[in-house]
Structure 1
Amino acid sequence: MKQPRLFSEEDRSFAEAVRRINATNPFLPERIARERDALGEGFVEEGATWNTLPPSETSHPNHVRLTERMGAVIERTRGAWPRDGRVAREEATAYGELAGLWLYHTYMQRFDRVIRAAEAAHGKTAEPGGAATAGEAGAKPVRADFFPAFRTDVERLLALPGLRLLEGQPVEHLFACAFQIRRAFHHIFRSLAGGSAPMARLRAAIWQSIFTHDLPRYRRTLYARIGDFATLVTGPSGTGKELVARAIALSRYLPYDVRRGGFTDDFSAAFFPLNLAALSPTLIESELFGHRRGAFTGALADRAGWMDVCSATGSVFLDEIGEVETGIQVKLLRVLQSRTFQRLGDTETRRFSGKIIAATNRDLSAKIRAGRFREDFYYRLCSDVVRTPSLREQLDASEAELPLLTGHVAQRLLGEEEGEKFGREAVAWIEKNLGRHYAWPGNFRELEQCMRNLLVRGEYRPALQAGGSPWPGAGQGREAGGGGEADWNALLGPGKLTAEEVLRRYTRHVHAQAITVEETARRLDQDRRTVKARLAAEE
């Protein structure tokens, strides 16, 4: 017997368009094209590219219209649903796609309130620098008191004869998935400013790092296993690699506990960053793995490291992974391979259950060839790679990018009204004094400092011009190169400096910009002890 059709031709076409929306990365241009296909003449062009604009507290008109139309199609389909449950598989799947997106759109603003409440409870925002501490581990679960309403809607929509969408995916899991999707939007949008194509691709890459390219498979199985996949963030210095890591870390799946009435962990206390270039090898091991009392001089008590403190839903972020020595690489390789480690001075084997995210601005393949980075460690890190674009790439892709970015920084420094005014002033100053094609070697970090300089002194003098030569007046004094630029050139020209003197003076020059010995060593690709010796010789 032929099965009756649930959808009219018009509704079937709309359901197919919704399926394509669900299958498209929300941060790519194709997502907007799919929404246009679904709404047809009802599509609103103004502000339609919501995935490139600053986040809004209200839903875009297109999303409101999509939700309304999905609701109407869902009700017509439920009314036509046969009591014996004999429904064609493709129609049951199409109905499930409609119901899933309708549920998400209907509850997303309530999820937003949960996110804001959790961040406020810990004094956090989406701005850089928010990170968990050992004292925050095991924080109270995040509550969401509207789960009963969500469950009622899910059962009303999906508990239909012959529809098996809830088999193996209980309501609390669907609730957790919806909350994760909303957190991903929140953190990706609020962590990364910019509307250019390179920034859109970066946001899309972060989304894929969180959910993979196959969201249905992620929802079925990978959500519980994605922590086993390390993520490597690469890109020039100053391009927001830590912000990328933070967005990924704070957007991980959190199970919902029906009995406790909340999610099992607090996402705002799930990010554990460590800058490897700023610490000695012993301190790196202590911070990561912990130590027993007496393990080294100054170890006066037992201490848990990030690997202990980080829960299964948390993430440890290893910044400047390209600077870590091979001995620690071996220990980290063990963590990635077997998920086990030992504290310094201890023989007990412990288990790490979280996710590893690492970042570097180094060419790791070159370091592998030079024998400074283990190849086996690299291949454990690179299962998921995200690359951050330079500021110059962003500006070249869109003329509107500089005003947007300066406006973002200005409003963060001064608030909305005064920030808008200062942002316009900053753009005018930059275009007049640096030019539209200034290279921005320090990337977004340099842009931020440029604007701070403009705010305080009304001017900004970059350290370097295009081509690498110093800007006039930049870094004046002995620290700029051991006696000033003129003295430096006067000695170099006639060959009056020995090779060792050149190395010492250049080390001092780099140290004046890098500030710390560790960062100087990283820039020079030298051992920190060698750098300290050269600096001491120049005193």
Structure 2
Amino acid sequence: MQNLTSEEYTFFSKFIRAVLSNPFTDERKILSDLISKNYFPEKDVNVHFFKRLQPLLNENIDKLDKRGFKRLSDFNGMENRLIYFSYIVAIYLNFVDDFDEFINHQTDNKNASLAFPKGQEILVQLERRGFSAKESLRLLELYYQFRRAYLFINNGLVGQSPSMAKLRVELWNNLFTFDVPNYHQSLWNQMEDFSLFLLGETGTGKGAAARAIGLSGHILYDKQTGCFRDNFQDIYVEANLSQYSENLIESELFGHKKGAFTGAFEQYQGLFNQCKLNGLLFLDEIGDISENIQIKLLKVLQERVFTPVGSHKAEAFHGRIIAAANQPLQELRQNKKLRDDFYYRLCSDIIEIPTLRQRLSESPGELVILTRELVKRICHQEDENIVSLVIESLNKHVSRDYHWPGNVRELEQAIRRIILRGSYHGDTLRVQPNNQVDNIMQLMADSNIDLKELTRRYCQNLYEQLNTYEAVALKTNLDRRTVKKHVTGE
């Protein structure tokens, strides 16, 4: 029996298709524009299309209510699926501003998990629509997680270049997979088994990417206290492994018992102890640790247990691991700095953070966007005068083909230098790559170099600068697989 009219079915179908797509993809944008155009021909760029269509969504649901169809059990088959997600989204949109306000308050209260005033009201509305008490509780937790993820990915990783847009898509998928319904039904409490390897040069923002994921983990809600059980800032633990000496790193990672070694005057909680249920442990510079530590970490990943130094009792680890390295992955493995078995346990997903030079080559306006964000971070407020000063100085003193070896971190320090001295001339201590044109001209002058070898060398030269096969393919107008073959020699 059909309870939806053809018009209602069409609206709910298109709306839910957009809702379930990755919010950072072109597909979401296309669907959003299409739906908005169909129902509201006039444009209003300041209003998110979900909020713009919220009155229409509520209107369609109200029509069903008036016809006596008020609960999930009133619908069957595909109609049930459409109304299932429509109810979820409608209730979410009613409270999205409350979540934003709560996230801001929670950010300012780092040492406590605050009460969420709207939690009980959300649960009541969900159960009234026919969701079980158990599923309603999980949906409340997912609302909170989805909103945090969107805000932290969108606001924490600024930039409009294609490579940054791609990065945001990848981070969202890493949190919720490419199929949100699967995550919602089966995977929301199983993500600790999905590790992540972040790659990228120094200063590109691997820590920012890890933090966006780490702050967006699933947090349980306690109905008795009206609080989420953890402050989201407490479920993320990070460490740069290169700062620890070889004889201390095991204790830093796994903790130690009192008297475990000389100087161990009390029990110490290591990084794995500090990582909470559904939390995330970010291990930066993973390529700098010894083979012995890699073997111990491999055991944790395989068995989900670890043993503190000086103890014989294994302890459970319930968190998720993100590892990062600033060396090329191929180099790490070829030079035996990363064991193959350890790598294969870390590579559930691999995400490469784009270099600043790649971002600028794709979108010159990226420099202004980044400068504005970094000035705000440095000055703790927006200051267009300083932004103008920085951009003018960089355009005057730094060449357009400057390599930016320190990436975004270097740009941040360049801004500070300009604020102090009025100018920045680039990192003169670092040897810059040879001029690309000179390299190619030298190769062409070599009579022993054929076109195939010339192309191979050119692709390798570009890859050293742009850092991804996609960027080289775009620059050379070659297929990505062809570029990879030239670069790797495979």
Q: If the TM-score is normalised by the length of the shorter chain, which range does it land in?
A: 0.7 to 0.9
* Amino acid paired to 2:290: E
Per the normalisation by structure 2, the TM-score is 0.83
Within-5 A mapping of 1:140-159: 140-156=112-128, 158-159=129-130
What whole-Å deviation, never above 9, does each CA across 1:129-187 have from its counterpart, x for those lacking one?
A: xxxxxxxxxx643421212221232233x22xxxxxx3585211110000000111121
Q: Is the 8 A contact 2:257 2:309 kept in 1?
A: yes
CA separation in 2, counterparts of 1:396 and 1:465? 23
Residue type of the partner of 2:115? Answer: R
> Aligned letter for 2:393?
W
Alignment of 1:88-487 (within 5 A): 88-122=76-110, 140-156=112-128, 158-159=129-130, 166-167=131-132, 170-417=135-382, 419-464=383-428, 468=432
How far residue 444 of structure 1 moved from its aligned partner, in angstroms, is: 0.5
Distance verdict in 2 for CA 1:142–1:208, change over 3 Å: farther
Aligned to 1:392, the other structure's residue is in SS state: helix
- Unaligned ranges ≥5, structure 2: 435-490
Distance in 1 between residues matched to 2:267 and 2:155, nearest whole Å = 38
Partner of 1:512: none
TM-fit CA distance, 1:86: 6.0
Aligned residues: 432
Q: Which residue of 2 aligns with 1:70?
A: 57
Mapped partners of 1:317, 1:391: distance in 2: 22
| 1:143–1:261 CA contact under 8 A, matched in 2 | yes
1:299 Cα deviation after fit: 2.1
Q: Which protein is bigger by CA-based radius of gyration?
A: 1
State the partner residue of 2:67.
80
Tell me what 2:3 maps to. Answer: 6
Cα distance in 1 for residues equivalent to 2:176 and 2:60: 28
Decide whether the 8 Å contact of 2:304 with 2:318 is kept in 1. Answer: yes
Which residue does 1:516 correspond to in 2?
none
CA shift, 1:341, in A, is: 1.2
How far residue 44 of structure 1 moved from its aligned partner, in angstroms, is 5.6
Task: Call closer, same or farther: CA 1:278–1:83 in 2, change over 3 Å.
Answer: closer
> How many angstroms apart in 1 are the aligned matches of 2:269 and 2:18?
45
Note closer, same or farther for the CA distance 1:46–1:360 as it changes in structure 2 (3 Å cut).
farther
Question: Aligned in 2, Cα 1:335/1:68: closer, same or farther, shift over 3 Å?
Answer: same
* DSSP-derived class of the 1:317 partner: strand
Q: Which runs of 5+ in 1 are unaligned?
A: 49-59, 123-138, 160-165, 471-539
C-alpha root-mean-square deviation of aligned residues, in Å? 2.2
What CA deviation, in whole Å up to 9, does each residue of 1:469-501 have, x standing for no partner?
79xxxxxxxxxxxxxxxxxxxxxxxxxxxxxxx
CA distance in 2, matches of 1:340, 1:357: 17
Cα distance per residue 1:205-247 (max 9 Å; x no partner): 1111111111111111211110122111111111110111111
Do the aligned partners of 1:44 and 1:61 also contact (CA within 8 Å) in 2? no
> Given the two structures, how large is their TM-score scaled by the length of structure 1?
0.76
Where 2:188 maps in the other structure, the secondary structure is helix
Q: CA deviation at 1:82?
A: 5.4
